[in-house]
Structure 1
Amino acid sequence: MAAAKNIIDENRASCEVVSADVLELILFRLPVKSLLRLKSVSESWNHTISNRDFAIAHLRRSKNSLFPSRKKFLFWDFSNLLELKNNELKPFWDHKINGYIVWQCCDGLLLLSNYDSSGNMFVALWNQSAKTYTNLGFPFPSPEYIFTCGINFDSLSKDYKILVTDLETYAVFSNKSGRWSELKEVKITIGEDIKSFPLDGHICWISQVEEEHSYTIEILLFDFKHDKFCKFFYDIGRLIFDCRLVHSPPGQFCMILADNFDKARVVWKKAGGEWMEFNDVPVPVMECHSEMHLTEDKELIFTCDCYGPPYIFTIYNLIEKESREISRPDGTFGPCHLFIYVDNLFFSGSTSI
């Protein structure tokens, strides 16, 4: 025991010799699970790993192409967690989110809600990389109905923020402060041009304006940076059969405008990027479940034959205009939520982040 303790002490002493800059370069390359274990090596290591700026820089590196092996597409169908690997869906690791409503995924953080044993609703976050679960409580005094929940990283304040609203009142949770804001009345500002809007917020809904000879889509967003709701009207130019919002990565917007039963127009925009439209995309709207997703590689993923076997995923690349199909494993059912595995130190159990 004494010999082992001496070795540990010597290793810790040698760790202190490494300069802070070199240490950060080394730690940046490590996954979250390893970083959480290394916090106990020394006070300086713990301070570095628990620093908010380090967490932001590590997240940025985790999301870029330097970590291709950690870029995993995961699907959650209320009972199973599946990974898309080599064009096949296979079971992923154990999870503890059975029975939860899945609202959104942002940078590997899964936003959930559920009811406790007393029937009270609460909002929670599940960090995939750290496998940690954080109960955020609930800001409404009598939680009977939520219209939407959303999560976004506010780059201005360097803070993850979570919106909960019933469209009459709303509250925002701040990761920095660790608490919910006071309930505020929803007041909607009419925006001028959706194409020039930065889209750095949670999109609440889209709908076709129900007026005779109307060719307009109504889009409601919440602007996390300025703490306000914005409504936009987009002239689609012609009468359409249906419109649906596509679940997209943070800072992106995508909607499907169905011209008929098996063809649609896809509208896509990335924050600070060009507004793009893709015509004649083969999306069979009548056969698709409303859960449709857009990946960062501009691949549209949707489910066909969702009311009976065989349960098939179709993945359509908007740029290459090619599609492929993937069968779901036995034992999976219902609509699936797509999210991307990202190493993220936020909400990982650290008291400082």
Structure 2
Amino acid sequence: MADSTSYLPPEIIENILLRLPAKSLLRFKAVSKSWNTVIADPVFVQNHIRQSKHSNSDNLFLCPNTYPIPVVKLGDKKIQTLQRIESRYARWPELCFCDGVILLTDTTYMRFALWNPSTRTSKNLWHKYSCPDAAFGLCRDPATDDFKVVIADLDYYSVYSCWNKSWIMLKKKYDTKYTGLGVKIGNNNMGVCVDGASYWLWSNDNATQIELVYFDPRDDEFKNLHMPENIADANQKFTYAVELKGCLCVYYNGMDESRIQIWTKEKGIDGHSWKVLITVENVGMSIWAFQPLCFVGDKIVVWKRGLLRRVLLVYIPSEKRFEEFEKNTVGIFDYPIPYIDSIFFPTEKPRPKTKRERKFLQ
């Protein structure tokens, strides 16, 4: 019997497949040779990531302190557990994430792993020396789709290219009076991956001056990014970086500890302009404990971390107040990691895009 899908135009089949979860797509690769070709195409994979981000509104998270690892959906004061994932990397610290792939390490900080929790695929990497005080990043070159791991330690940084399957070590060439990315605000050396680049905030030894730097995968160089004018004050200590709504954001509380202002950068690696995204009033917590996770409508979900208690809150802008999430079975977890349902794994060098595929990506 003829395949009933053979009567559908390829564009229709592709659009249907784009809306399916990664688990189903892996099974459907065996339906036919043509379906396998479509699903394995790197262009389709990237479009599927975009579709997943859009449909889930960036409010799916992994809770790594519970095993099996739950995938939860953050709604309006509710936490819904969608599935639980088993992983042999359950006890490995998570360093950073990009396009559904997580970079992890073991206690030696020489052995690393790239892990996609949607497909359970992984790849182990070995670094030439231990680097527990380094800063870590993941990024994908928007021009070539080459997926890269970045480890920045003291005066040198290492870049792993998934295309070339090898490391290169480079000396930092930008002007800085600081020793390296080992001096950071807070205790977080995770790079924030947005628009294909990885971003870090770092400061001098006394935390009296802040710089926002990023790794540009197009030329494998570190560069400085101008901060919003209100944050560029040399005495501004308490500033953090995060991704919200697919954009790079920085937030700070200035001299007024009851208000936290979140700024968002324009899209694109080369965009340098900023605007205020939201001002959170009546904060009632140290900015160290304040971690914005995502938006649910016009409300912002915040992870409040403390030494004895960690809790999820939702901020209601119209009422300028916080409400605690309903009790759930997930338990107290470490920093929630954004989860993207993705079949992406950066091991294959993509073929050149055709004219039709370039149009489809727009």
Q: Which TM-score applies when normalising by structure 1?
A: 0.74
* 1:181 partner SS: strand
What is the aligned partner in structure 1 of residue 24 from structure 2? 34
Instruction: Report the CA distance between 1:228 and its aligned residue.
Output: 0.8
What is the aligned partner in structure 1 of residue 183 from structure 2? none
Q: Deviations over 1:93-112 (max 9, x none)?
A: 13324212122232332232
| 1:207 has 2:203 as partner | yes
Decide whether the 8 Å contact of 2:77 with 2:313 is kept in 1.
no
CA distance, structure 2, for counterparts of residue 237 and residue 223 of structure 1: 22
- Classify 1:62/1:41 alpha carbon distance in 2 versus 1 (closer, same or farther; 3 Å): same
CA distance, structure 2, for counterparts of residue 76 and residue 245 of structure 1: 21
| 1:170 has 2:157 as partner | yes
CA distance, structure 1, for counterparts of residue 341 and residue 100 of structure 2: 7
| 1:61 has 2:51 as partner | yes
CA distance, structure 2, for counterparts of residue 262 and residue 149 of structure 1: 32
Alignment of 1:211-290 (within 5 A): 216-232=209-225, 234=227, 236=231, 242-249=237-244, 251-272=247-268, 275-277=274-276, 278-279=278-279, 281-286=281-286, 288-289=288-289
Aligned with 1:342 (options 337, 340, 346): 340
Decide whether the 8 Å contact of 1:163 with 1:170 is kept in 2.
yes
Alignment of 1:1-353 (within 5 A): 10=1, 13-16=3-6, 18-64=8-54, 67-68=55-56, 72-79=59-66, 80-81=69-70, 83=72, 84-91=74-81, 92-96=83-87, 97-115=89-107, 119=108, 121-130=110-119, 132-138=120-126, 140-175=127-162, 177=163, 179-188=165-174, 201-207=197-203, 210=206, 216-232=209-225, 234=227, 236=231, 242-249=237-244, 251-272=247-268, 275-277=274-276, 278-279=278-279, 281-286=281-286, 288-289=288-289, 291-295=291-295, 300-304=300-304, 306-309=306-309, 311-316=310-315, 323-326=322-325, 329=328, 332-333=331-332, 335-339=334-338, 341-347=339-345
What is the aligned partner in structure 2 of residue 7 from structure 1? none
CA distance, structure 2, for counterparts of residue 335 and residue 262 of structure 1: 25
- Classify 1:318/1:143 alpha carbon distance in 2 versus 1 (closer, same or farther; 3 Å): farther
Letter of the aligned partner of 2:10 in structure 1?
A
For structure 2, the residue ranges without an aligned partner over 5 or more in a row are 177-193, 352-362
Q: Deviations over 1:16-43 (max 9, x none)?
A: 5554333323322322211111111222
CA distance, structure 2, for counterparts of residue 168 and residue 338 of structure 1: 29
Letter of the aligned partner of 1:168 in structure 2?
D
What is the aligned partner in structure 2 of residue 195 from structure 1? none
Q: Deviations over 1:134-177 (max 9, x none)?
A: 12313x312242512112232211233221221332222334x1
CA distance, structure 2, for counterparts of residue 153 and residue 296 of structure 1: 27
- Classify 1:163/1:226 alpha carbon distance in 2 versus 1 (closer, same or farther; 3 Å): same
* 1:33 partner SS: helix
Identity of aligned residues (%): 21
What is the aligned partner in structure 2 of residue 6 from structure 1? none
Larger radius of gyration: 1
Letter of the aligned partner of 2:117 in structure 1?
Q
Letter of the aligned partner of 2:315 in structure 1?
Y
- Classify 1:247/1:51 alpha carbon distance in 2 versus 1 (closer, same or farther; 3 Å): same
Q: Which TM-score applies when normalising by structure 2?
A: 0.72
CA distance, structure 2, for counterparts of residue 331 and residue 44 of structure 1: 41
Decide whether the 8 Å contact of 2:58 with 2:294 is kept in 1.
no
- Classify 1:265/1:182 alpha carbon distance in 2 versus 1 (closer, same or farther; 3 Å): same
Decide whether the 8 Å contact of 1:312 with 1:327 is kept in 2.
no
Decide whether the 8 Å contact of 1:201 with 1:251 is kept in 2.
no
CA distance, structure 1, for counterparts of residue 17 and residue 156 of structure 2: 42
Q: Deviations over 1:207-228 (max 9, x none)?
A: 37859xx7x5322221222211
Q: Larger deviation: 217-226 or 324-333?
A: 324-333
Letter of the aligned partner of 1:248 in structure 2?
E
Letter of the aligned partner of 1:125 in structure 2?
L
* 1:254 partner SS: strand
* 1:248 partner SS: strand
